[in-house]
Amino acid sequence: MPLRRSVLILVFVGLFTPAVVSGVIQYFQLHQEIRSHFWGDKARLENILVYGTQELLWNFDQESALKLVESVMTDHRVRRVVIAEPDGTVFLERASPLADSPLAVTDAQSILHDGGVIGTLRLTMDPISDYAAIGKQLLPMVAGLLLQLVLSLVLIYVFLNRQFLLPVKRLEEQSSRLANQALDKEYTWETPNELGKLGSSLEVTRRSLRVYRDNLEALVQERTAELQAANRELEAFSYSVSHDLQAPLRAIDGYATAVEEDFAAVLPPAAQDYLRKLRRGVNRMSSLISDLLALSRVTRSPMRRVEVDLAILADQVIAELREAEPAREVDFWCERPLTVVVDPGLMKAALRNLLGNAWKYTSKTEGARIRLTSSGGTRPIFTVDDNGAGFSMQDVSKLFQAFQRLHDASDYPGNGIGLALVQRVVTRHGGQIWAEGEPGRGARFSFWLGTPLGEKTGEEGL
C-alpha cells in the first residue's frame, strides 16, 4: 500500500474512533437524562392529579375535575387520564388521539379521602416526544463532530504532507535515480530533521558516484591498455627466450656428440656415461622449450575458423599414434560426423593432446578403449574418454596448469604441457573444458566450443 494512503487511513482511524466513542457516550448520557426527566415529570403530574381530584371525586364534581385533567393534558406527553370509582365505574376519562403508542407507560395510583380509597387514577404518558428532542440535539452534535473531524484531518494531513510525505517522496525519487545511475540532477535539502540529513547524504553519494563514474571509464581503458601491453610483452619475452634458448642447447648437444664420437677411444667409461647423461638432460630441456613455444604459439597465432569434422581430425591423430606405436592394440570409436566451426590447426593440436593422453594413459591397460562422443544439439558437449590409469579427483584443479603432472615420469613420460595447451585452445574458441577421473578406471575430458554451427564469429584474425 502506498505510504500516502496508509498515512491517510491511520489519521482517519485515529481521529474517527475517539469521535465515534465520545459521540456514543454523549448519546447515552442524553438518553439517560431524558428518561429520568420523563419519570420525574410523570410522578409530579400523578401527584397533581391524585391530590387535585380527591375533593372533586368525593363531591362528584365532574366539571372541575375535567378542567384539572384538561389542564394536565396540555402536556403533550400525557396520552390518557382515567379516574375510576372503587367499583370500576369510570368517573372521568380523557384521551389524546395517539393514546395507544407502543412506548406509552401507564401507572395506577389510589385516590384517598380520610384514610379510605375513593378511586383510582390511571395516567398514560408517552416519552416519544422527549426522544424526538434527543434527535434534534443529536443532529448539531454529529455535525459538529464531523466538522471537527474533517478540520483535524485536513490540518494533520497538510502537516504530515509537508513534513513527511513530500520529503519521503523526494528521497524515493532521489534514490531511484541513484539506482538507475542518473547522476546529473542535483538535490538541495534544507530540512534540518533526520529526513533532510538522509537526503543530504544521498546527495553526497550522488556526487561521489558521478566523480567515480566519470573516472571509471578512463581508468578501465587505461588499465586494459596497460594489461594488453604487459601481456604482449610477456608473451613476446617468453617466445623469444624459448626460441633463443634452443640455439645454445643445440650447440651444447652438438659438442657433446662430437666429444662422444671423436674421443670415444680415450674417454674412460665414467666420462662417457656422464656425457650420455648430459645429452639426455639437454634433450629433455629442448623438448620442454619446444612445448613452451607450442603453448605460446596457441595464444599468438591468428584464428581462422572453418567448418571441420572433428571425427576426421580424430582419425588422423589416431593414425599418427598407431604409426608411432604399431604394436599397441587400442579400440578407438568415434561418433560421426562431428561438424564444428573451428580453427583446424588449433583444434588438431588440442585433439592430439587429448587423444595422445588417452593413448598414453591406457598403455598399461588390457583391452584399451578410447571414445570420442558428442551430446548433440546446437551447442554440443564433446567427450574424450578412456579406460586407462585415471586420476584422483582431489588433484583435478592441477590438471590444466602448465608443468603439473599427476603421474610419475618413469611410468608415463611427459612434460605436463598438453592439457594447458588444450585449455587455451578451447578458451580461444569461447568454450570451456573440464575433467573427471577415477584411479585405475579411466578418465573423461569434456568440452564445448563457443560458436555453434551456423553462427558468425568476430574472432577471426585474433
Ligand X SMILES: Nc1ncnc2c1ncn2[C@@H]1O[C@H](COP(=O)(O)OP(=O)(O)OP(=O)(O)O)[C@@H](O)[C@H]1O
Q: Identify residues 116-155 at the interface with ligand X (CB under 6 A).
A: none
Q: Which is nearer to Mg ion, 418 or 442 (CB)?
A: 418
How wide is the angle at C-alpha 163 spanned by C-alphas 160 and 164, nearest 5°? 70
Q: Identify residues 316-375 at the interface with ligand X (CB under 6 A).
A: 353, 357-358, 361
Q: Which does 399 bind (CB under 5 to 8 A by kind): Mg ion, ligand X, none?
A: ligand X
Number of H helices, E strands in the chain: 9, 11
Q: Which is nearer to ligand X, 353 or 451 (CB)?
A: 353
Sign of the four-CA dihedral 202, 207, 211, 213: positive
Q: What is the DSSP letter of 436?
A: E
Give the ranges where 263-372 is alpha helix by DSSP (H): 269-300, 310-324, 344-361
| Least spacing, CB of residue 257 vs ligand X, in Å | 25
Residue from the set 119, 291, 349, 352 that interacts with ligand X by CB under 6 A: 291
Q: Does position 437 bind Mg ion by CB under 5 A? A: no
| Least spacing, CB of residue 213 vs ligand X, in Å | 44
The mark string for 304-343 relative to Mg ion (x by CB under 5 A, - otherwise) is ----------------------------------------
> Residue 197 and residue 455: Cα distance in Å, rounded?
55
Helix, strand, coil fractions of the chain, as percent rounded to 5: 60, 15, 25
Q: Which is nearer to ligand X, 127 or 418 (CB)?
A: 418
CA distances from 318 to 308, 313, 349, 356, 386 (A): 17, 9, 13, 8, 13
Single out the residue of 245, 241, 256 nearest to residue 285, CA to CA.
245
Q: Does position 419 bind ligand X by CB under 6 A? A: yes
Cell 395506577 belongs to which residue?
108
C-beta separation of 384 from 358 below 8 A: yes
Q: Which is nearer to ligand X, 49 or 389 (CB)?
A: 389
Give the ranges where 97-193 is alpha helix by DSSP (H): 128-160, 166-179
Q: Which does 167 bind (CB under 5 to 8 A by kind): Mg ion, ligand X, none?
A: none
Q: Which is nearer to Mg ion, 57 or 313 (CB)?
A: 313
CA distances from 369 to 223, 329, 364 (A): 49, 9, 12
Cell 412506548 belongs to which residue?
103
Q: Does position 69 bind ligand X by CB under 6 A? A: no
Q: Does position 124 bind Mg ion by CB under 5 A? A: no
Residue from the set 321, 406, 433, 449 that interacts with ligand X by CB under 6 A: 406
Residue from the set 167, 199, 418, 431 that interacts with ligand X by CB under 6 A: 418
CA distances from 396 to 194, 369, 406, 410 (A): 56, 22, 9, 21
Q: Which is nearer to ligand X, 121 or 443 (CB)?
A: 443
Q: Which does 426 bind (CB under 5 to 8 A by kind): Mg ion, ligand X, none?
A: none
Q: Which does 202 bind (CB under 5 to 8 A by kind): ligand X, Mg ion, none?
A: none
| Least spacing, CB of residue 384 vs Mg ion, in Å | 12
Q: Does position 418 bind Mg ion by CB under 5 A? A: yes
Name the grid cell of 341: 566451426
> Residue 336 and residue 373: Cα distance in Å, rounded?
8
Q: Which does 342 bind (CB under 5 to 8 A by kind): Mg ion, ligand X, none?
A: none
Residue from the set 357, 374, 387, 451 that interacts with Mg ion by CB under 5 A: 357
Paired residues of 140 in beta bridges: none
Q: How many residues bind Mg ion (CB under 5 A)?
A: 2
| Least spacing, CB of residue 293 vs Mg ion, in Å | 16
C-beta separation of 199 from 191 below 8 A: yes
> Residue 264 and residue 276: Cα distance in Å, rounded?
12
Q: Which does 68 bind (CB under 5 to 8 A by kind): Mg ion, ligand X, none?
A: none
How wide is the angle at C-alpha 129 spanned by C-alphas 124 and 39, nearest 5°? 50
Residue from the set 4, 122, 279, 407 that interacts with ligand X by CB under 6 A: 407
Residues at the site binding ligand X, with contacts judged by CB under 6 A: 291, 353, 357-358, 361, 386, 388-391, 399, 405-407, 414-420, 437, 443
The contact set with Mg ion (CB under 5 A) reads 357, 418
